[in-house]
Each structure stands twice: as structure tokens, then as C-alpha cells.
Amino acid sequence: MDALDSPPTSPVTSLLTAVFTPFDEDGGLALDTVREQADALAGWGCPAVYVGGTAGEGASLTSAERMALLERWCEVAAGRFDVIAHVGHASLAEARTLAAHARLAGVRAISAVAPYFHRPANAEALADYCAALTAAAPDVPFIYYHIPSVTRVAIPASAFLKAARGTVPTLAGVKFADGDLADFQRCLELAWDGCELYFGNARLLLAAVGLGARAAIGSAYNFAAPLYLRMLAHVERGETAAARDCQFLAQRAIDTASGYRGELAGFKAATKLTGLDCGPCRPPLTALDEAELADLRTRLTGIGFLPRETA
């Protein structure tokens, strides 16, 4: 199933994974690990990966590293799932260079956050910025990445959609990584054929599905995809209570992992506990030490997220 071409008609939402960037102990790219990541994702039917975004620590990579990482993902994904390249950058020129490279690499779509140092004043300025960026890849679908908690760009995604529809010819959707469900619902109402809303807050996915979300992008699916797939199966069968139980367990797992050195470090550690080691984070983020990792294993087992036989 290609979530970018054919959104599902059933209530079940497609889970697209915002993948981690694997590093070795010295902080360099561990590109050999990408094949293992891809095999794990293909194993549960992930339709697409989102490369170089928040989970991928894209802002901590050089442009050359981002290009090498993307090329590796396109290589290992070929024929198995789509690749979406995050090309956002504080520099428009760098973002355009990354967009042009992504086009040549063969991605299914490009995506970008709003400029996060010198910020746009309004939705029209943001739309103009995205138009200039996407002109470097004029035949590649563009997904705007709305994550105000990180960028501090508080322009509602719905306001951006209104401003960008006539300004960004390749606009194909929004990655909505926020908890404002009212704004998300406004976006759903504004969306047109060929414009998809990708919900990006795993803690609230069940609520978003209730509003009509048909696709999601998130880093939690690196380690919690089986639980979320189970939740969505309950939704499809109308088993509301069971779906709520799954969402609550997912929230507890997310909160537990996030309690160790922050969400990204905790999520990478949880992924390691489920069988895939993507290495440490890049400074200024820090990875869990062995004692913290053991404690995380115990706590995730205690809440029923990890099976006891792995503890």
C-alpha cells in the first residue's frame, strides 16, 4: 500500500516511520545499520520512511551527511517502501540544495519544517518560503512539517494550507506534529484531493483517527509499531475499549522512555531493547548509560510493553 498515492478507505491509518539516524560510538554515520532498520520496517509492512527529520537528528548533521544518509535509505528501500526526505534548514539555499539532491536520489516526496531561527511573520510569508524551496524540486510532492513546539513557528497549519494552496504548486500534505486537534480538524476540512494529513503525535493517534486521520508519521513506530497496529486493528473492528487500552499503554511506554534524557534518547533506547541498536545520539543530546538502559527495560516490562521473557 502506498500511503502517498492511495490513502486507505477503511478507518485503519497507515503508519509511516520517522527513522533514527544510526551513529557509531564516535558519532559518525553508521550507514551499514540502515539495512537492518529497513528490514525491520519492511517486516511489518511500513509503507514509507521519513528521513532526516527530528527523529533523524537532521539539524545535527552536515548537508553532506544528510545526502549520504538519504542515498543509503533510497538504496535499501527500493521496491519495498517509499522514502520521504526532510530537507528543512535554517538556510533557504541549503534547503534548496537538499531538495534538488533528494529529487535526483529518487524520493517519493520532500518535506521541510518552517525556518526556525529567523521565522516567518505570517502564513503568507511561510508559503512564499516553501514556494522558493520547492522550486528546486518542481516535480516532487511537498509535505509541510508543522512542529511548533520545536520551531516556535506558531502559525496554525490550517492557515498555512489556506495560504499555500495557490502558492506552492507541489503541496501534497502536512505532517502535523502538534496536539491542537481543533487545528488538525480544520486541516482535514481544508484538504483537497492529493493533499494528505499525516498526524505526528503518537500520544494522540487514536483521537486523531476518530477525527478522520488516515495516515501518521512518527518516531514511536520504530519500537512500538506492533502495539499501534494492534490498536488500529481494534479500531477497524469497532472494538473501542480495546483500542483505548492500546493507546493508553503506548502513552505509558512513550512517557516512560522519555523520562530518560529526553524523548529522542529514550526512544532510541527503547528501540535497542526491541532488537535494533541505532547507536547514541549526537551532542548536545546524550544516550542512556547501561544502568539507565537496564532500568528502562525493567520499567517497560513492568507496564506490560515488553514481554517478561525478554527481561
- Catalytic (active-site) positions: 145, 175
Residue the block writes with cell 538556510: 91
CA dihedral (237, 201, 102, 70) positive or negative: negative
Whether 171 contacts 195, CB under 8 Å: yes
Whether 54 contacts 84, CB under 8 Å: no
Name every residue whose Cβ is closer than 8 Å to that of residue 288 and which is 6 or more positions away in sequence. 260, 261, 265, 266, 269, 296
Give the whole-angstrom CA distance, residue 56 versus residue 77: 16
Give the whole-angstrom CA distance, residue 276 versus residue 295: 18
Q: Which of 242, 248, 238, 250 is nearest to 11 (CA)?
A: 238
Q: Which of 28, 93, 80, 25 is nearest to 49 (CA)?
A: 80
Q: Which residues pair with 217 in a beta bridge?
A: 16
How many residues are given for the chain?
A: 311
